[in-house]
Amino acid sequence: MRIGIPRERKPMEGRVALVPEACGDLVRDGHEVLVESGAGEASGYPDAAYEAAGARLVPDAAALYGAAELVVKVKEPVEEDLHHLRRGHLLFCFLHLAAMPELAERLRAIGLTALGFETVAVDGRLPLLAPMSQVAGRIAVQVGSTLLHLPQGGRGLLLGGLPGTERGHVVVLGAGTVGGAAAAMAAAMGALVTVFDRKPERLEAMRALGPNVTALYPYRDAVAAAVREADLLVGAVLVPARRTPHLVSEAMVRTMRPGSVIADVSVDQGGCVETTRPTDWERPTYVEHGVVHFAVTNMPGAVPRSATQALSAALLPWVRRLARPDWRDDPALAGAVNVAGGKIVHPALREELAAAPAAAGSA
């Protein structure tokens, strides 16, 4: 199969789907691997490294998409990618279509087959989402800590405090992979951490992070009280293939102290805070009701070297499976198909998109 690795075109997205060594493995499997020139530069992988691994360099997107049968990229296609995608393509990347109905419609109309990294599920786990979730959880706390500095519009607070000073309070909504990584990072910095989740086993895991971590069931009043006292609020809620519910209302945001920070990692699926709207690394923040909002849709793109290495290692086995003629016999891959044959085929996504106009009309 001809496998294409394009250069990412989303603003400040430095990741590439596969490192040269992974491309070399695919070449040894008998596949032809095409890499767009410059695709790996921001991650520290020059064109020469891909050529040395046996991949063939192509000069631009037109050549890449024109020759490839399977397109493997990191983030959802932007306008330039959509211009080159065609019927018959297999597209494999992060899609998050529940929050982007217009993109879902464009992909449906093209007639290609699109599989989302985030909808590959094995025994309840999301093996392709997990490594990027770990990165995003850490970044949310690292960036959130910086945004609390006065020059960034924050309260002028060190999360971990100093002897004789108050410590910052970090509230994390969700104790999955993102939330767990965020809570661990915040706890290691010395902050007071409150984590909310519905699953007892996750709450128990959070308690093990240390005495400065409190793990609670997300009763609405408990969430509202914690949000009110939060210096940094991290949104880490995921409902696969569906828009994230708003666990924090605009009224709750109004109760937060001026200069506090919201880092909503769940923005990819619409965000779990009502005042969240997508941003990018060129303009990563905005202020609403005196609260700094950080809602970049590709947080791991800021650390492309680390993120690419983690993603490529997780991704290679799945690309190998997808490149086989019988890939539809793999239940995890078959279940990851979002769009095929001019239809939205993922059941949860189809239901979510069908409800989207009604939800928008009631807002």
Per-residue pLDDT, 358: 38
| Domain end (from 239, 271, 296) | 296
268 is catalytic: yes
SS3 per residue for 167-222: CCEEEEECCCHHHHHHHHHHHHCCCEEEEECCCHHHHHHHHCCCCCEEEECCCHHH
Supply φ then ψ for residue 90, to 5 degrees: -100, 120
Instruction: Please tell me whether residues 343 and 207 are part of one structural domain.
Output: no
d(CA 330, CA 318): 10
Total domains, the chain: 2
Per-residue pLDDT, 361: 29
Instruction: Please tell me whether residues 264 and 133 are part of one structural domain.
Output: yes
Q: Tell me the pLDDT tens digit for each residue of 287-314.
A: 999 999 999 999 999 999 999 999 999 9
Instruction: Please tell me whether residues 179 and 292 are part of one structural domain.
Output: yes
| Domain end (from 245, 264, 296) | 296
Instruction: Please tell me whether residues 156 and 117 are part of one structural domain.
Output: no
Catalytic residue, candidates 25, 268, 293, 346: 268
Q: Tell me the pLDDT tens digit for each residue of 2-46.
A: 999 999 999 899 999 999 999 999 999 999 999 999 999 999 999
Instruction: Please tell me whether residues 150 and 272 are part of one structural domain.
Output: yes
Using a 10 angstrom Cβ sphere, with 0-12 exposed, 13-18 middle and 19 or more buried, the burial of residue 361 is exposed
Adjacency order of strands within the sheet including 213-216:
213-216, 192-196, 169-173, 232-235, 261-264, 291-294, 285-288
Per-residue pLDDT, 363: 31
Report helix, strand or coil for 152: helix
Q: Which two tokens stand for residue 54?
A: 């046996």
289 is catalytic: no
SS3 per residue for 322-356: HCCCCHHHCHHHHCCEEEECCEECCHHHHHHHHHH
Low-confidence ranges of the chain (pLDDT < 50): 358-363
Supply φ then ψ for residue 62, to 5 degrees: -60, -45
Going by C-alpha positions, the residue among 77, 124, 153, 100 that lies closest to residue 271 is 100
Residue 207 · residue 229 · CB < 8 Å = no
Per-residue pLDDT, 240: 84
d(CA 172, CA 196): 6
Helix (H) or strand (E) holding 233: strand 232-235
Q: Range of 102's domain? A: 2-126+303-362
Catalytic residue, candidates 84, 89, 96, 293: 96
HSE-up of residue 150 (Cα within 13 Å, Cβ side): 1
- What would you measure as the largest C-alpha separation in the chain, in angstroms? 65
Instruction: Please tell me whether residues 188 and 287 are part of one structural domain.
Output: yes
Instruction: Please tell me whether residues 115 and 204 are part of one structural domain.
Output: no
- Specify the CATH number for the domain of residue 24: 3.40.50.720
d(CA 319, CA 24): 13
Predicted model pTM: 0.91
